[in-house]
Structure 1
């Protein structure tokens, strides 16, 4: 069973997963540089991400739109090392795979923290938060990105393929969530 947000990850006792708030927008921009495969990502790439209209839709004003939901992984000292978040796209947005009632996932982990289970813990915690509200979530991942196998291990299934923002091929994947009565999606 996935851990509840705001608890230490069992095999990563120094990493805490907690719900994201609007105050975490800067962290989401940083993690988006890793998620979007912007070179090595990191602080030097944030301005470029903020200037990209396709990427802005994932973070700009995060926490102010209905349906924004996310989690942040922080080391014991408070440094953010990863994030996973969902955002609805109320209308067709170029490069986005969300639907009006199915949010799109974005997730990024600092390269120094990869291979330690941070991404798995983030997605498990996000699923716990999302399941009462959503029936499924979607994502796109570049066809050559090894993360697509990671998402497959977590239960995401390929549903289609698309041309991404850099004219390459991305795989659209979806995850059906366990849902109580009264949810939408």
Structure 2
């Protein structure tokens, strides 16, 4: 049972740093720290936090809906420009998602290789590999064969040609089933 004059001792039998005898240099450094830190802390607590609105995470930024390129007139340059900007922004987002999924797969495979003595690449990280494969396929369907300087019009034409091809495949399959 501790007595009144006893100091608190932590688990290792040491006295906490605040209660130890400190040199004048340490005391001076703490004093200077309080001099510089006190006004900033007071301003943050009493001014900044009181007038600060609700905080929103940066990745929840909402963009207003943009008219798709299919609804723009051919001479409406502002509509085409907005559609192009939205296309480039969505392309960046899609490739960032691909980077994140790829990094998850690399982290998982690295972790599994270090844990398991005998590793078989076909048996580890199946979910991550399937996610990566699906994402790459979807990106190729959307952006593949367009090149680095593709515009929203090129992407729209690719989508249109793919839909026409799919419709012809379905019609061809029905004709073959009828014969």
TM-score, with length taken from structure 2: 0.20
Greater fraction strand: 1
Bigger RCO (CA 8 Å, 6+ sep): 1
Radius of gyration: which is bigger?
2
Structure whose residues are more often helix by fraction: 2
